[in-house]
Structure 1
Amino acid sequence: MLRKMPTLFELFGFVLLVIETLTGMVGNGFIAIINCIDWFRSRKLSPADMILSCLSLFRFAFHAVTIQVAIFKLFFVDPFLMLKINIAYDSSWLFLNTSRLWFAAWLSVLYCVKIANFSHPVFLQMKRKFPGLVPWLLLGTVVFSAITTTVAITGSIIVSKCNPFESHLNNSSDSGINTSNSCTKIFYETVRAMPAEKFT
């Protein structure tokens, strides 16, 4: 279902978003393609190229999700469709954003290990072992981001069910029953976790 015609201010903001997003997609896509070509040629990637490839791919996906949601929010108004889109967008945004922040952090650590010259034994051992740990760190980052995203989105959905305004918008009686049950469960668990002195 199409929404009413966007205002001039909304269209201007949308055009700016498209320009910035496409610029980011082109830059990150170029980095990913170059690294993939090098990988196919040599069948080997350095730790820095591994991190850069993952970072550029996740940034590319992040920009793609951003532009898709902007299109849906600007031109479509179906509330049930938008609810599903918002959940999917929040999940994708949190997963991609968490992952790319971790990738950027690992890239900083790698450059620090390569550039810095410390004589401490712990640092020297880290300098030797860190490059070999990069593939496992990247895999662990993706798994950790997926777990935190699942927990955060599940928690926000449960909390949103206790919102009286959102539950009022649901027309089915079944959703109302589920909402009241989940809210009652959360309330009793919260009260049970509180110390007894609060009630004396």
Structure 2
Amino acid sequence: MPGKVESTLVLIATGEFSVGILGNAFIGLVNCMDWLKNRKIASIDLILTSLAISRICLLCIILLDCFILVMYPDIYITGKQMRIIDFFWTLTNHLSVWFATCLSIFYFLKIANFFHPLFLWMKWRIDRVILRILLGCFALSVFISLPVTKNLNDDFRSCVKVKWKTNLSLRCRVNKAEYASNKIVLNLLTLFPFSVSLISFLLLILSLRRHMRQMQLNATGCRDPSTEAHAGALKAVISFLLLFVAYCLSFLIATSSYFMPETELAVILGELIALIYPSSHSFILILGNNKLRQASLRVLWKVADV
């Protein structure tokens, strides 16, 4: 039976999960209804919907792992079940990061003001290739996740449960080190899309500065539609960057826990932090998107009337 601390942590995780599902499901539902109504979907809506679906799956995997660790830890006695959870966690993690990076790039190409030929060519082509880019991100995420299914031995879970106070065999130390190193390497691959998002963010800032300087020279107001678009895109990208940093820290906590006592408790704490990223960023995206913001206000008004 779980203790009071574990039960409290699971309750908090369930609350974070519910909030995240609500926000991401709202994004997906609004965009899918608009798709069915207009028989077509805009590129930005396609990216947001794909991102929302990937984060719903990520939230489900994290909460499932949290429940298993607390309520049914014996399920992980063999490595098979753990391999399944790890595969889908790695897959949805990479999908979420890559789709968020696609969103950052799309904002940059559509909003920034540069006159370099390569930028103008990408700006013109992005709408035509966005579906292929998203499918490529999915294929790449599956390829990256496949090694996870091969790095767990059948006795790994029993090694995870070994505490420092007991005699830790060499085999258990090797199993733990191999598992942790593989997890770290696979998740370090997310640094590439993170770096791309960071570059997009910096270029958006540069574009906004140039735009503001040009408006000052022309003696016009500073809150025109282009400025508003820059500001909204910057908020969406920087919120992703900051939340993803917190998410990476939670992963380090969960991974390093395999070398510490009270493994399950440390993993759950890491998962609580991890849930913040896919849960809260959805609401930032809703507030930054005019269609989603208006739809959310209509829902709130109907709820208030009831």
Which TM-score band (shorter chain)? 0.7 to 0.9
State the shift of 1:85 in Å: 2.7
CA distance in 2, matches of 1:148, 1:123: 29
- The corresponding residue for 1:88 is 84
State the shift of 1:66 in Å: 1.4
1:25–1:63 CA contact under 8 A, matched in 2: yes
Q: Which has the higher contact order (CA 8 A, sep 6+)?
A: 2
1:25–1:132 distance in 2 versus 1, CA, 3 Å: same
State the shift of 1:137 in Å: 0.3
| Residue among 6, 12, 30 paired with 2:8 | 12
Aligned residues: 160
1:34–1:120 distance in 2 versus 1, CA, 3 Å: same
2:24–2:52 CA contact under 8 A, matched in 1: yes
- The corresponding residue for 2:58 is 62
The normalised TM-score by structure 1 is 0.74
What amino acid does structure 2 have at the position aligned with 1:106?
C
| Identical-residue share of aligned pairs (%) | 29
Structure 2: gaps (5+ residues): 160-306
- The corresponding residue for 2:173 is none
CA distance in 1, matches of 2:64, 2:127: 36
1:148–1:115 distance in 2 versus 1, CA, 3 Å: same
| Residue among 64, 88, 105 paired with 2:101 | 105
- The corresponding residue for 2:289 is none
- The corresponding residue for 1:128 is 124
- The corresponding residue for 1:45 is 41
Q: Give the alignment of 1:179-194 within 5 angstroms.
A: none
**CA deviation string 1:100-158 (max 9, x = no partner):** 1000000000000011111111111110011111000000111110011013432x23x
State the shift of 1:80 in Å: 5.3
What amino acid does structure 1 have at the position aligned with 2:104?
S
- The corresponding residue for 1:177 is none
| Residue among 18, 32, 40 paired with 1:36 | 32
CA distance in 2, matches of 1:38, 1:50: 11
State the shift of 1:70 in Å: 1.5
- The corresponding residue for 1:186 is none
**CA deviation string 1:10-54 (max 9, x = no partner):** 111111111011110111011111111011111111111000000
**CA deviation string 1:166-195 (max 9, x = no partner):** 6xxxxxxxxxxxxxxxxxxxxxxxxxxxxx
| Residue among 13, 17, 21 paired with 1:21 | 17
- The corresponding residue for 2:134 is 138
The structure 1 segments of at least 4 consecutive aligned residues displaced by more than 4 Å after TM superposition are 79-82, 160-163
